[in-house]
A and B are shown apart, each in its own frame.
Chain A
């Protein structure tokens, strides 16, 4: 027995030593939780790293649980935060974090260039580089006339229509808006009707895009970035923005915030200003995801498609007052999907 205690103790000491070294070695890095797609966000963050000389350690969310996973992780870590900067790919989760007192106010140069409709008055979060919620459809299957799938009557066949699981991401934003505009009862009835009519629920917006591209579904709800992925690959797809009952569109900004209790506040402020800069918004607009700048940028430097999207984005519904609706809608969705 004595023969075994020594190696076990040695091993335990070694493991603890490695953990201590790990914490010390990584303590210098600015910790960023990022719910935006890794393929677009990583280049921006590496650019910041190169220019500022500040090492950045990034934790990305999984595609299927976009934004909700990291939002909930931040809530769990509230008492001992690890994260310095949260780059969310939507707004509603950020409103929840603001209400829980997890965000730290900062109004720097980036804050100043973003319009008031897309930022918290106290500076606890700021929006930038938005995308639109849309209906993507397969033109080889149903032609080029946009289908009115949101206006379909109960009892229609929706077996060729796809939507992501509404528990996460921008589908959650769409559901929250409908909850806000219609009230819970109408949304629940609509949701039940849609499921009865055979709508295909998949893991995320990218899976909706795949289902439409492959022709398994003829149309589906997705976002502009997924649509342009399909279009750039040469697939026969077209899109139309989702219009709410009042004719408004759903424009969903990325948002960024510094976490209260962040260990690298100065570096975090530098990153926030970098993300909110004209240069970053233009880079995201020129990327394959065609994000729509929210601050003022020279129009001639925007791709033609983004200029068209920007028109629709101006007709976007106000999302900043949806905090309570999100909480109610999410509680109901959790009871449906994880009862």
Chain B
């Protein structure tokens, strides 16, 4: 069970199971989300994305007692890990399914049903064609993220290939040996990446029409996932933190680490946004090159950068903020490019707003989406643990490395207060920045 082959097989099995779950849930949930309107739509999207953006440390810290009680039951422990990972990654599939609608319209599907080919083979072939390439792309990305998971696995002592690679690296294997160890899993990841890259883009079809009245099932799923991965852990930590806040306030020891996290997150979000914006008109192979490191996972990227900056040529830059800054930027690029494609492309409406010179409209159509995208990237970088623990320079360590260490001593009121402070900081930063930006836009609006 310890061999890298067995651990890769386990990770493969888990990732495939999560892909199946994601592909089963995402079409109906994606269609239902698109059909929502007004505040219900905003609320539904928040519930959908909350698990994805919840840091694994929060979940594992809050649920440590529950996960420990499952330790003796191999399947219970495994089910908890797969369940949480699935709830975190299903939103990726849903977002991509919403972005990549099937090429065949609802009318086309209806016509097919009317004509009803006789053979099962024809039916299957038709259905495979009718769904388009969306499922392959979203399934592939969910597979990559699930297969490369390190953080949740390391927090819950789950056996997987990323843990074996990490053990090999800290155990003193040379980089070449470590990468040889990771050759099969990396090969599997690269195959999936190439398959995604070669997938032909469908002609844009209409979104799958789903009734807005799909019953309470989508709301139930969203509520359960957001509660299990985000709300309940946050509630547990907040309840414990109440008693610890005064002690933390008296002796606030996290200032340096919080500052380091904010600085690294700002720099990485800025760099990733700029690169994504520059890459907008680039050829697809270049875009693919930009997203590959991020999709290979934080562990592999960090180990490669560590080796690179320990080489004689770049040694002068080792133990500076540069390696971590580069790692975080690379890890943000897939999300930055996705957000750029989703929200930040110029539209005819924006063109008209610019012609009219309405700052208010420009805010609504261009700057607000840009601010939201930058905010998401900032949070994603802020909550990083893996790259920070490997590449952070001495004396400028981001807060989650420290919290991750302290979390090993179990739950205490002061530590819960520290967690709460760490989770509140990006929200505070974003609220302050957003308010200032909005006031500026209003003051200059027309």
> Which of A77, A210, A338 touches B68 (beta carbons < 8 Å)?
A210
A206→B409 contact, CB < 8 A: yes
Interface size on A, residues (CB 8 A): 59
Nearest residue (CB) in A for B325 is: A15
User: Residue-by-residue, is A60-77 near B (CB-CB < 8 Å gives 1, otherwise 0)?
Assistant: 101111001101100111
A22→B68 contact, CB < 8 A: no
**Complex contacts, A80 vs chain B, CB 8 Å:** 315
* Interface: A31 (CB within 8 A): yes
> Complex formed: what's the CA distance from A39 to B69 in Å?
26
* Interface: A246 (CB within 8 A): no
B71→A211 contact, CB < 8 A: yes
User: Residue-by-residue, is B369-399 near A (CB-CB < 8 Å gives 1, otherwise 0)?
Assistant: 0000000000000000000010001110100
* Interface: A167 (CB within 8 A): yes
**Complex contacts, A120 vs chain B, CB 8 Å:** none
A337→B167 contact, CB < 8 A: yes
**Complex contacts, A15 vs chain B, CB 8 Å:** 322, 325
The smallest C-beta distance from B85 to any residue of chain A, in angstroms, reads 18
**Complex contacts, A268 vs chain B, CB 8 Å:** none
A19→B315 contact, CB < 8 A: no
* Interface: A54 (CB within 8 A): no
B393→A60 contact, CB < 8 A: no
> Which of A42, A77, A202, A338 touches B165 (beta carbons < 8 Å)?
A338
* Interface: B408 (CB within 8 A): yes
Known A-B contacts A15-B322, A38-B402, A214-B68; the reply to A57 vs B394 at CB < 8 A is: yes
> Complex formed: what's the CA distance from A59 to B65 in Å?
29
User: Residue-by-residue, is A211-240 near B (CB-CB < 8 Å gives 1, otherwise 0)?
Assistant: 101111100000000000100010000000
> Complex formed: what's the CA distance from A80 to B313 in Å?
12
A31→B408 contact, CB < 8 A: no
Nearest residue (CB) in B for A235 is: B410
B2→A337 contact, CB < 8 A: yes
**Complex contacts, A39 vs chain B, CB 8 Å:** 406, 409
User: Residue-by-residue, is B108-151 near A (CB-CB < 8 Å gives 1, otherwise 0)?
Assistant: 00000000000000000000000000000000000000000000
> Complex formed: what's the CA distance from A294 to B405 in Å?
27
B317, B318, B394 — most chain A CB neighbours (10 Å): B394
Which one of B86-94, B169-177, B206-214, B425-433 is at the A interface? B169-177
> Complex formed: what's the CA distance from A267 to B56 in Å?
40
* Interface: A50 (CB within 8 A): no
**Complex contacts, A26 vs chain B, CB 8 Å:** 393-395
* Interface: A200 (CB within 8 A): yes
B408→A64 contact, CB < 8 A: yes
B310→A76 contact, CB < 8 A: yes
Residues of B58-112 contacting chain A, CB below 8 A: 64-65, 68-72
A22→B173 contact, CB < 8 A: no
A63→B408 contact, CB < 8 A: yes
Nearest residue (CB) in A for B317 is: A19
**Complex contacts, B2 vs chain A, CB 8 Å:** 336-337, 339
**Complex contacts, A71 vs chain B, CB 8 Å:** 172
> Which of B172, B322, B389, B410 touches A72 (beta carbons < 8 Å)?
B172
> Complex formed: what's the CA distance from A71 to B69 in Å?
33
> Complex formed: what's the CA distance from A229 to B320 in Å?
35
The smallest C-beta distance from B258 to any residue of chain A, in angstroms, reads 16
A338→B322 contact, CB < 8 A: no
Residues of B160-206 contacting chain A, CB below 8 A: 164-165, 167-168, 170-173, 181
> Which of A64, A216, A233 touches B71 (beta carbons < 8 Å)?
A216
> Which of A60, A162, A216, A336 touches B69 (beta carbons < 8 Å)?
A216
User: Residue-by-residue, is A302-339 near B (CB-CB < 8 Å gives 1, otherwise 0)?
Assistant: 00000000000000000000000000001000101111
* Interface: B358 (CB within 8 A): no
* Interface: B368 (CB within 8 A): no
* Interface: A207 (CB within 8 A): yes
Known A-B contacts A57-B394, A203-B157, A210-B64; the reply to A338 vs B168 at CB < 8 A is: yes
Q: What are 18 A-B contacts with C-beta separation under 8 Å?
A: A18-B322, A19-B317, A31-B394, A38-B406, A42-B253, A59-B397, A77-B310, A82-B394, A200-B72, A203-B154, A203-B408, A210-B64, A216-B71, A233-B410, A334-B173, A337-B164, A338-B165, A338-B167
Q: Which 6 A-B pairs have the closest CB atoms?
A: A57-B395, A338-B168, A63-B408, A72-B172, A214-B68, A69-B170
Residues of A near any B CB (own CB < 8 A): 4, 15, 18-19, 22-23, 26, 29, 31, 37-39, 42, 57-60, 62-65, 68-69, 71-72, 75-77, 80, 82, 159-160, 162, 165, 167-168, 200-204, 206-207, 209-211, 213-217, 229, 233, 330, 334, 336-339
Known: A19-B322, A60-B405, A62-B389. 6 other contacts (CB 8 A): A72-B171, A82-B318, A214-B65, A215-B69, A338-B167, A339-B164
Residues of B near any A CB (own CB < 8 A): 2-4, 64-65, 68-72, 154, 157, 164-165, 167-168, 170-173, 181, 253, 278, 310, 315-322, 325, 389, 393-395, 397, 401-402, 404-406, 408-410
